[in-house]
Amino acid sequence: MPSSPTPLCPPPCLRRAVNGTKYCAEHQTTNRRIEHNRAYDRYRDNNDPIRKLYRTPRWQATRRIVLRRDILCRSCGHERATEVDHILSARLVVDNFGVAEFYNPDRLQGLCHPCHSSKTASEYGWTNRKGTRFDSLGNRGNTTVVCGLPGAGKSEYVKQHAAQDDHVFDYDVVMSEVTGLPIYETLPDAIGSVLAKRDQFIEATQYSTHHVWIIVSNPKAAVVDMLRVAGAEIVVLDTPPDICAERIRNRKNT
């Protein structure tokens, strides 16, 4: 099998990166990297069509609408919202739904600066790590993680066992909320945004006095292991694969 090509140093350089790094030999040192990143920012400001949308009067008007609607941060819920964030990244919104949706307040949320920075880091960095930005978690004795194959009945299990005021993270529901697609339809490029919201949910519910439910397909996922170590209960549904497949077929036919 042919090896993957060596990546390019980011624009405006575009020379071959040193193996195992993001930068060419010239931009390996810290000072040169800082200088390069500044040049990259200038390049993006002048050439990135998404950045240009943020400089339009229409965006400023939309931003004011969202900050008047979301007084408090939609992630932590206690800090004042000062920044407007695309729930699904702006580039994916424009690429998949058109420029008009860039300005749709329903695709936006008000966040405080720390939560916005954390979400951005999670969205763009999760694939290079382990599916989560966490390295460890505190006491999660208030949490139950429900795992199983697609179609195993995880959402139904939580509905049957959760109390009315419990907190629930359901991957399929959040994917639908983030993308605007029907439930159980997936936009692969949106996975980073969904996992960023999952990490925000885990962080926001750490000290909740209500029980927390998290639905995860893979019981061997790194975040499940961390939650287990932190004291969470792990429930694995061993529904037979043929029943799971039948349920998925029925979903598509309804």
Q: What is the pLDDT of residues 169-191, one digit of tens each?
A: 999 999 998 888 888 888 888 88
CB-based contact 223:139 (threshold 8 Å):
no
Element containing residue 83 per DSSP (H, E): strand 83-86
Say yes or no: 17 and 97 in one domain. Answer: no
With bands split at pLDDT 50, 70 and 90, how would you rate the model's confidence at 199?
confident
Say yes or no: 56 and 41 in one domain. Answer: no
Q: Which residue is it, tokens 């959402």?
A: 155
Say yes or no: 42 and 109 in one domain. Answer: no
Say yes or no: 150 and 87 in one domain. Answer: no
- Domain with 17 in it: 1-47
CATH number at residue 159: 3.40.50.300
Mean of pLDDT values over 97-124: 87
Q: What is the pairing mode between strands 108-111 and 83-86?
A: antiparallel
Say yes or no: 158 and 244 in one domain. Answer: yes
Closest CA relative to residue 209, chosen from 163, 148, 152: 163
Tally of domains within the chain: 3
Provide the mean pLDDT of the chain: 84
Q: Which two tokens stand for residue 50?
A: 């998404």
99-105 — which CB contacts under 8 Å span 24+ positions? 99/53, 102/53, 102/59, 103/58, 103/59, 103/62, 105/62, 105/65, 105/66, 105/69
Choose the final residue of a domain: 32, 47, 62: 47
- Residue 109: is its pLDDT beyond 90? yes
Say yes or no: 20 and 97 in one domain. Answer: no
Say yes or no: 155 and 236 in one domain. Answer: yes
Say yes or no: 65 and 30 in one domain. Answer: no
Mean of pLDDT values over 231-243: 95
Q: Residue 137 falls within a domain, yes or no?
A: no
Say yes or no: 161 and 244 in one domain. Answer: yes
Say yes or no: 89 and 116 in one domain. Answer: yes
With bands split at pLDDT 50, 70 and 90, how would you rate the model's confidence at 10?
confident
The CA distance from 99 to 104, in Å, is: 9
